[in-house]
Amino acid sequence: MYVKCGCIDQAWQLFDKMLERDVISWSTMIAGLANHGKAREAIKLFQGMQRAKVKPNGITFLGLLSACTHAGLWNEGVKYFDSMREDYNIEPEIEHYGCLVDLLGRAGHLDQAFDRVKKMPTKPESKIWGSLLSSCRTHCNLKIAITAMEHLSVLEPDDAGNYVLLSNIYADLGKWRMCQG
Mark 27-59 as b/e (b = at least 16 C-beta within 10 Å).
bbbbbbbbbbebbebbbebbeebeeeebebeeb
Q: How far is it, in rounded angstroms, from Cα 116 to Cα 142?
A: 18
pTM of the complete model: 0.90
Q: Which of 142, 111, 147 is nearest to 129 (CA)?
A: 147
pLDDT tens digits, 80-138: 999 999 999 999 999 999 999 999 999 999 999 999 999 999 999 999 999 999 999 99
pLDDT tens digits, 139-173: 999 999 999 999 999 999 999 999 999 999 998 88
pLDDT tens digits, 124-141: 999 999 999 999 999 999
**DSSP state string for 118-181:** HT-SSPPPHHHHHHHHHHHHHHT-HHHHHHHHHHHHHH-TT-HHHHHHHHHHHHHTT-HHHHH-
